[in-house]
A and B are shown apart, each in its own frame.
Chain A
Amino acid sequence: MMKQVKIRKSDFHPVLRAFVYLMALVFTVLTLYPLLWLVISSLKTNTEFQINILGWPQNPTLNNYPTAWRLAKFDTLFLNSLFFTTVSTLVVIGLSLMAGFAFAKLRSKATPFLHGSFIMGILLTLQSIMVPLFLMSVTTGLYDTRLGVLIPYVGMGLPIGVYLCTEFIKSIPDSVVESARIDGASYFRIFASIVAPMAAPVAVTLAILNVSGVWNEFMLINILVSRDALRTLPVGIHKFSGALASDHGRQFAALTIGLVPMVVFYLLFRKQITKGVSAGAIKG
């Protein structure tokens, strides 16, 4: 537990305090309103929704959920989303930490160039790489395979991953590494037993960024995959938004189904942040 210095209440100007509370209140309303609306809407039938978009349901029904689940084959989609999200996140964290360690603590003339190329990656958009990626995945025979989806997902998470990890590891004092070297440890040993455990905070940050990115990813999965057996949740959710019509009731049920894991994940990890950060706090 860290010690906190007591703040003199008079320090915190009442106007400022009121402002902060107000902003927080505004945020709360703005956040809960869409969520509430989402759940309420999922309880309406499509017809009722079109007549009454924003009000309470007259005849609430839970039918949308099982129907949506069945029609869009959510069980497969769910498992796939889980698979791709978890695996890609773990791999991104692993590779980013490795590269980050190398860039931060090992000397090499290649670092500015390589590190810089990752920074560029943060700026790239999905649109520009979609068609070439497709061509490549077809040529290498990875089209319509799990690996063919994983590799791009990992590749897209790496820029921000490498950047954050490099920054973080840079802040670990060189003395820590040097003294371990003097004790005869190999670089890998240093990485595995010293750096990695300390990296909990950045790992958690990366996990959050990556998970929310991959879980909601929609465009690439459609391009790289044909078989239903490989598809993920966003595809299923979008299926309810037709061209000239929409089945709103079911779409909202689908959206809720997709939302719940994300919320749960965040609630779980929220505690981890504080835990992980205090564990990683640097003693002076």
Chain B
Amino acid sequence: MKRVIQWWTEERRAYLLLVLPAVAVYWAVMAFPTVFSFALSLTNYNGGPVFSNPNIKFVGFEHYLRMFRDQYFWISLKNNTLIILVSVFGQIPLGFLFAYVIHRKLVKFRGFFQTIIYLPCVISTIIVGRLWRSFFSPYGPFTEFMQKFQPGWENELFFDPKLAIVPVLFVILWMYTGTYMIIFLANLQKIDPALIEAARIDGATEWQVLTRIMLPSLSGVIVTASILAISGSLKSFDLLFAMTAGNPARRTSVLALYMYDTAFKHSPKYPLANAISVFMVMLSLVLILLVKLTEAKFGGRE
């Protein structure tokens, strides 16, 4: 009896001490400012001192309504959706494919490929953005290259509202697949090889091993990867800023760029920017819940 009581309070104490530092820093740095921003998104603040300002007052959801009525918001949202799709259905499977192939030693030069595929993630987005910007320029090599096949070919890539985002999607796919490859690789190596060996001895094909053993045990990792992909896609800013800055005519804009535009580029409009960011968070939440539901349905056993 005494032992149980002792155990309980010690656990409590340990819990607090272990958790407190992280919680304290995190709440101070992220949670509180976010709440503050949310509050600000309900006011008419427009630059100048925040606290001693007599002109600030609450205006409710006015900014949110304005956001939903803005066509550029919807264009940005559409682009974000495309990026999410590319991330979740492009980067993750591709990352997994590479990880699998490397792990199962199905190709040569594994070390080299692993390095090469991950390397883009560490290259600063400025470099990548600028290079591809120059590359796709109407006076650049891409145009020259195409003109060898069809003289007088006009580089219309960025002028078609539907196609303008394609080069960007392509670059995104290339840049971040490596992160997922690493994550999958690290987790593939956690799967007990004895299990696989036993299955092979029983005559299972590679495909069966993959679908019956490996994928289910990786389901947790897939969820993690999806969460990272979704949140990363919605926050995606640097690369696009360097490549197109949302142009031409905002057709390659994404929510983060849109927010940046409204908050910083022109007259300070923090409340609107914060409304956008609140929306982004809500959207992320919804999507992640969807992912978790999907996992629950097709669920994995450890």
Contact = CB atoms under 8 A, between A and B. Distances in A.
Do A and B contact each other directly (Cβ–Cβ < 8 Å)? yes
B251 to A, nearest CB: 21
Interface in B115-156: 115-128, 131-132, 134-135, 137, 140-141
A238 B116 CA distance: 26
Interface residues of B, number: 99
Contact of B126 (A53, A151, A155, A237): A237
Name the interface size band of chain A.
35 or more
A129 B259 CA distance: 13
A244 interface: no
Interface of B: 7, 10-12, 14-15, 17-19, 21-23, 25-34, 36-37, 40, 50, 94, 97-98, 101, 104-107, 111, 113-128, 131-132, 134-135, 137, 140-141, 174, 177, 179, 182-183, 185-186, 189-190, 192-197, 200, 205-206, 220, 224, 227-228, 231, 234-235, 237, 256, 259-260, 263, 270, 273-274, 277-278, 280-281, 284-285, 288, 302
Q: Specify which of A133, A151, A234 lies most central, judged by the most chain B CB atoms within 10 Å of its CB.
A: A133
Q: Specify which of A28, A129, A171 lies most central, judged by the most chain B CB atoms within 10 Å of its CB.
A: A129
B163 to A, nearest CB: 20
Contacts of A265: 122
Secondary structure type dominating chain B contacts: helix
B189 A259 contact: no
Interface in A108-156: 108, 114, 117-125, 127-129, 131-133, 135-136, 151-152, 154-156
B14 A38 contact: no
Given A121-B26, A123-B231, A123-B234, A38 B131 contact: yes
A186 interface: yes
Interface string A87-121: 00000000110110111001110000010011111
B206 A114 contact: no
A167 B140 contact: no
B115 A267 contact: yes
A235 interface: no
Given A27-B113, A123-B281, A188-B14, 8 more contacts: A21-B107, A54-B135, A99-B23, A114-B23, A125-B277, A158-B25, A259-B123, A273-B186
Contacts of A23: 94, 97-98
Contact of B131 (A37, A181, A234, A259): A37
Given A2-B189, A34-B128, A156 B182 contact: no
B140 A53 contact: yes
A187 B25 contact: no
A20 B228 CA distance: 24
